[in-house]
Amino acid sequence: MDKIYEQAMLFDFYGELLTEHQRSIYADAVYNDMSLGEIAEERGISRQGVHDLLRRCDKILQDYENKLHLVERFTRAKETVGEIVRLTSSETGQTDEQERLLRIRALAEELMNEL
């Protein structure tokens, strides 16, 4: 996964578990694409302090994901839905309707088991 995309996903799922200060600085870095220097100047702290805080937040968010796997489960569900959409599109190229329906049912059962 692209690092910025991964950071954004982790922040979307677990960001509320950070302190307000951590959330604010992390959002500036990830969503507002601000540099360490820009954040440091705006907050009146050192670039090293911003860097350390961002690394600490990355670790905290990754630790939550390692325990809860919400981003992983979301990604799998999104891929499954995408496959269902492809199977139900008119351009699938498959002629065996029964086979398609059975695959859609299996995918739907996978999704239900994830929930």
b/e code 80-92 from CB counts within 10 Å (16+ = b): beeebeeeeeeee
- pLDDT one-digit tens code per residue, 23-52: 999 999 999 999 999 999 999 999 999 999
Q: 3-state DSSP call for residue 94?
A: coil
pLDDT at residue 112, as a whole number:
86
Token code pair at residue 47: 């670039």
> How confident is the prediction for the chain on average, in pLDDT?
91
**pLDDT higher than threshold 90 for residue 91:** no
pLDDT at residue 20, as a whole number:
97
**pLDDT higher than threshold 60 for residue 94:** no
Residue 25: how many other CB atoms lie within 10 Å? 24
pLDDT at residue 93, as a whole number:
59
Q: How far from 64 is each of 15, 53, 94, 115, CA to CA, in Å?
A: 10, 17, 41, 19
